[in-house]
Chains A and B, each alone.
Chain A
Amino acid sequence: MSVGVPELQSLADSVVEQAKPGEQIEAYVSRGGETSVRVYEGELEHFVSAQSEGVGIRIIKDGRTGFAYAGTLEPSAIAEVLAEARDNIQFGTVDQWAGLAEPDGVAQIPQKFWDEELANYPTDKKIEITKELEKLTLAADARVRSEQSNYEDGWAETAVSTTTGIRESGRGNSCYVSVATLADDGDEAQTGFGFSVGDSPKEFDLNKAAREAADRATRLLGATKPASKSVTIVLDPYVTSQFVSILSSALNGENLAKGRSLFRDRLNEQVADPRFTLVDDPTNPLAYTATDIDGEGLAARRNILIENGVLKKFVHSSYSARRMNTKSTGNATRGGFMGGPGVGCLAMQVQPGNKTQAELISAIDDGVLIQDVSGMHSGVNTISGDFSTGASGIVIKNGTLGAPIREFTIASTLQKMLLNIVDLGNDIDWLPMRAVGLSLVISDVMMSGS
């Protein structure tokens, strides 16, 4: 990583040095802190200032894996974690592909993850910003109330060392503001939210966050439930980002190896409309989830997954790569010290089209602009491909936006939706999510309402 953390690295090293003959050891140590400010009706509702740390140790011997973690870096606790991980080895099944990543010579692309200005940002200014955001939001529309206005920042330092020669450490910090709103109209209430992210608070666009929060809450007032029919949908960038994110599971090389990908046996086949190109590129500093290394400490890299609708590549960790007789694509994921690495896309980017959202809408006779979805976790099955979510949005009639609608679902299958992509917008939005947002037009989706 770009900035090393020698103290944590040597802590990780000291664990790895205790490997016994025949053992592969990986030590992952981290510590971090967060500040959370919440304002409600002009008053500070809570202020959280917290620090945490922990260590996760993975040991592999004779094809068996053991793991243990603790939420502390006390030396006695680390010794206990090492002993527990070692004890856990005996219960694993021998897996011929089990093993740690090995350095593969791919160079890291340096990026900036640490902002000194944020690190030194004064507390009272953080509270001021949070109050300011609430004030701007309330001023944006008379029908809008505040539910909460938030400022959050965090910093983290991590180090990973392995007996296979991986030694990486680094630190990063980030911050964001968000505001949750309510809008009333007689008996009816609707909710909204807005947010802004930045390397430091000076990059926040508070006005935009306030405007979006007010708009999201008010745009559904008076919305009705539509009748069921098959329609063309335009996904707002915020919704497209969520839609694209769920494809990560189908492009996951470990899921492929275990027969759980709906793209199995489809490599080099047409799985999407030729207008659709999907890249995973954590080396792009514009991506919110940009990183220089993956969850195993290998260099992050750019991978083309779907090109002109043709499935080109699955993403791999070193484990899934060994199973599939290929090389890691630098796509090990990691949720922190509490678990070992998994596999997944890191920063998904859809290649944009050349139209604005308004131009896309103007080409649709009968459709819906989908501005929000709910139940992505309960109604989408990434193995069967069944797709069904709750939705709200605005009717599109003869190329223009009409009345708001809510309390309906949209349904299809992921396989069909990818092939039914009709057009893409040029309105790239680098949202604070795993996938980039842009407007996406999909035909022949079932809208279910009254």
Chain B
Amino acid sequence: MSKTQTVEPLVAPDVLERVLAKGRSTGAEFSEIYIEDKRSTSAGLDDGKVEQVTSGRDRGAGIRVVSGETTGFAHTSDLSERGLLAAAEAAALAAKQGGGGVHKVQLGDVLRHSVNTVKLSPDAVEKSRKVELLKRVDAAARAVNASIVQVSAGYGDSRKRIMIANSNGVLSADEQVRTLLRVSVVATGDGGMQTGYDSLGHTIGFEMFDENDVEELAIRAAKQAVTKLSARPAPSGAMPVVIKRGSGGVLFHEACGHGLEADLVGKSASVYRGKMGELVASPLVTLVDDGTMTAEWGAIGIDDEGHPSQRNTLIKDGVLTDYMWDYLRARKEGRAQSGNGRRQSYQHLPMVRMTNTFVLNGKEEPDDIIRDTKHGVYIAKLGGGQVDTASGDFVFGMTEAYLIENGEITEPLREGNLIGNGPEVLKDIDLLGNDFAMGNPGTCGKDGQGVPVGDGQPTLRVRSLTIGGTAA
């Protein structure tokens, strides 16, 4: 998939070379420029009406200068040579360490590493077709049941061209396309209101809707809300939890993903520090972070430091094999980057981030996992989560869950959070299915920055997790 070719750059390479040289003018050993040009379209439907179609344009450059342990950063929306040189000077002054001198930077050919093929660019599709999808979602959700009282749906697409150059001679470019559809439903019954939610997102263009049925998405969300109308309060206390395939990746994202980010490990802010080569999970677990996973929400051709994305095995058969790395942390350890240096936009500094994080298949039939569980909870849909990487304590929400009684899925449960400790939960995974699936598109937040990520897993069982319900 990797290929080298020359393409129309966002800023001419000779300008980039002068800007990077300016970045090093106060004695810094590294300078970098990240240029972004993003066009986006979004449309929202609520209460039966298409409320608003929005067009957005974000364009600018972020310049990073590193001198020893200090990073200087400045950004600008002015992509002229004058604007870029001014930002480079600001970043250089910010990282000033007393040195100086004239530096020359020479860039190589543009590296393009592409992992996605876009057949139908969002720019080439009439806005009316995008809006039409929302009307179909609304109609399909409302048709499910008379108890559906409200539907809101959102469509979004973006086309982001990025270009990264640094004083080590790296010059990389990528075009990142994302297409997203989401639906929220409210149902009303005797016991009050309940909600349902589902979403679909890929790093491809409008052809996503040829391959996926939007009515099905709407119906799933609607049924989730209707089912919960008869839900009973979730239990409290610790018990076995079975998580449906493709809905529990967030568990690994929180239980260990963040803790395997080298910036947190480097500051000893991770419970996984110093555990390389040790058994940190059940031997059933092999955890991978893979930025090359075609069309998945966290797929990127290059990371936001210009490094090609790659597939990294983090945990193999329960043993910790690697952390995730960006340029700064890899430089410090004298090792290679892993394609995990990401940022929200040109206005942000890159840091270590996940891409698509998932657990590989095990051997069990999913039905056997449920049958083997005498009393527990079956989670068909998880919400977001949050982790304290130092202690390993994490929570995640269950938005669609059922009781398991005598090996069978029975009554629906109301929403709640689950809480666990990462290292303990990883070791507590005692059954792993053979039915791997990726989950919904997600946005991962860290240090105030959001980036798109994917996750996935086969159906699995955790021997004991604490359910945050109200029932005794």
Contact with A along B331-353 (1 / 0, CB 8 A): 00000000000000001010000
Q: A8-32: which have CB < 8 Å to B?
A: none
A256: min CB distance to chain B, Å: 12
Q: Residue among B54, B90, B192, B420 with the most chain A CB within 10 A? A: B54
Given contacts A47-B70, A93-B50, A383-B195, contact A190 B416 (CB under 8 A): no
Partner-B contacts on A (CB < 8 A): 40, 43-53, 65-72, 77, 80-81, 84-85, 87-88, 91-95, 145, 147-148, 182, 188-191, 220, 225, 228, 230, 257-260, 262, 338-340, 374-375, 377-379, 381, 383-386, 388-390, 392, 406-413, 446-450
Q: Which one, A145, A191, A375, contacts B417 given CB within 8 A?
A: A375
Using Cβ atoms and an 8 Å threshold, which residues of chain A touch B469? 388, 411, 446, 448
Interface string of B365-377 (1 = CB under 8 A from A): 0000000000000
B 185-199 to A, binary, CB cutoff 8 A, 1 in contact else 0? 010100011110000
Collect the chain B residues with CB atoms within 8 Å of residue A446's CB.
236, 469-472
Interface residues in B346-396 by Cβ distance below 8 A to A read 347, 349, 383-386, 388-391, 393-396
**B411 nearest CB across to chain A (Å):** 16
> A406–B393 contact, CB under 8 A?
yes
Nearest CB of chain A from residue B90's CB, rounded to whole Å: 5
Are the CB atoms of B127 and A88 closer together than 8 Å? Answer: yes
B101 within 8 A of A: no
CB <8 Å contact, B131 and A81? no
The reply to whether B57 and A91 form a contact with Cβ atoms under 8 Å apart is no
A374 to B51, CA, bound (A): 33
Contacts of B99 in A (CB 8 A): none
Q: Are B71 and A45 in contact (CB under 8 A)?
A: yes
Task: Tell me, rounded to whole Å, the shortest Cβ–Cβ distance linking A124 to chain B.
Answer: 11
Q: A53-B77, A386-B416 are in contact. Are A340 and B468 (CB under 8 A)?
A: no
23 pairs, CB–CB < 8 Å, chain A vs chain B:
A45-B69, A46-B349, A47-B73, A68-B54, A88-B52, A88-B53, A88-B54, A93-B48, A93-B51, A182-B268, A225-B466, A259-B149, A378-B395, A379-B415, A383-B186, A384-B194, A384-B195, A385-B192, A386-B416, A390-B393, A409-B418, A446-B236, A449-B237
- B278 near A: Cβ within 8 Å? no
Q: Which residues of B contact A381 (CB under 8 A)?
A: 195, 415
Instruction: Decide if A67 touches B52 in the complex (CB within 8 Å).
Output: yes
Identify which of A51, A258, A385 contacts B76 (C-beta below 8 A). Answer: A51
Docked Cα-Cα span, A48 to B385, in Å, equals 29
Q: How far is the CB of A247 from chain B (nearest CB, A)?
A: 16
**Bound form: Cα–Cα A85–B69 in Å:** 45
Of the candidates A50, A145, A230, A383, the one whose C-beta lies within 8 Å of that of B193 is A383
Chain A residue with the shortest CB-CB distance to B385: A378
Q: A389-B468, A449-B466 are known; give 13 further A-B pairs, CB within 8 A.
A: A69-B57, A72-B57, A88-B52, A92-B49, A228-B472, A259-B150, A374-B394, A384-B414, A388-B397, A409-B418, A446-B236, A446-B470, A449-B237
B10 CB to closest chain A CB (Å) equals 15
CB pair B416–A72 under 8 Å, yes or no, is no
Contact B73 A379 (CB under 8 A): no
- With A93-B49, A375-B386, A449-B237 as given contacts, are A52 and B347 in contact (CB-CB < 8 Å)? yes
- Which residues of chain A are near B46, meaning CB under 8 Å? 258
Q: How far is the CB of B266 from chain A (nearest CB, A)?
A: 10
For chains A and B in complex, what number of residue pairs have CB atoms within 8 angstroms? 264
- Does B183 belong to the interface (CB within 8 Å)? no
Q: Is the CB of A338 within 8 A of B391?
A: no
Contact check, B396 vs A378: say whether CB atoms are below 8 A apart: yes
Shortest 10 CB-CB distances between A and B: which pairs? A409-B468, A378-B397, A379-B417, A448-B236, A375-B395, A388-B416, A390-B395, A47-B94, A93-B49, A88-B53
Which B residues are CB-close (under 8 A) to A50? 73-76, 347
Contact A147 B269 (CB under 8 A): yes
Across the interface, name the chain A residue whose C-beta is closest to B95: A47
A112 to B228, CA, bound (A): 49
Residues in A with CB closer than 8 Å to B150 are 258-260
How far apart sit A392 and B72, CA to CA, in the bound complex (Å)? 37
Measured CA separation A225–B194 after assembly (Å): 31
Residues B77 and A72 in contact, CB atoms below 8 Å apart: yes
Q: CB distance B51 to A450 under 8 Å?
A: no
Closest to B57 in A: A70
In the complex the two chains form, what is the Cα distance from A46 to B62 in whole Å? 14
A contact residues around B390 at 8 Å (CB): 182, 189-191
Cβ-based interface call for B467 (8 A): yes
In the bound complex, do residue A379 and residue B55 qualify as a contact, i.e. CB atoms below 8 Å apart?
Answer: no
Decide yes or no whether B109 CB sits under 8 A from chain A: no
Asked whether A390 and B271 contact (CB < 8 A) given A81-B57, A189-B391, A375-B395, the answer is no
* Inter-chain contacts of A377 with B (CB < 8 A): 383-384, 386, 397
